[in-house]
């Protein structure tokens, strides 16, 4: 195992992490932006108004994108374990 392998593996792990978390982050960002615009136009400054819908939206995103996230993580792990024997030794 050399430094190129470790750096490549770390880069792949970061990419998979970003891919797996992107749907929840993007949906949370969009819902937060919509709620912020609503709060600015109505001058309602309630903290729970921003927090609760974002949590619900992120949970819905987990339910919607959960199978895709799981398959992405399983594919990464499968490829890692199958190709690990090529680099050990």
Q: What is the DSSP string of 21-47?
A: HHHHHHHHHHHHHHHHHHHHHHT---H
Alpha carbon distance 78, 70 (integer Å): 12
What is the torsional sign of CA 32, 37, 40, 42? negative
The mean pLDDT of 73-78, rounded to a whole number, is 94
pTM for this one? 0.80
pLDDT at position 87 over 70: no
Q: What is the pLDDT of residue 46?
A: 81
Instruction: State the Rg of the chain over Cα.
Output: 19
The mean pLDDT of 63-79, rounded to a whole number, is 95
- pLDDT per position as a tens digit, 39-54: 889 888 887 788 899 9
């Amino acid at each position: 195992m050399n430094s190129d392998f470790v750096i490549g593996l770390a880069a792949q792990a970061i990419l998979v992490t970003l891919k797996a978390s992107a749907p929840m982050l993007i949906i949370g960002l969009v819902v937060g932006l919509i709620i912020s615009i609503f709060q600015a136009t109505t001058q309602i400054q309630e903290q729970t108004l921003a927090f609760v819908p974002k949590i619900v939206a992120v949970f819905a995103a987990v339910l919607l994108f959960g199978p895709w996230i799981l398959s992405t993580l399983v594919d990464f792990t499968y490829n890692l374990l199958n190709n690990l024997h090529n680099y050990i030794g």
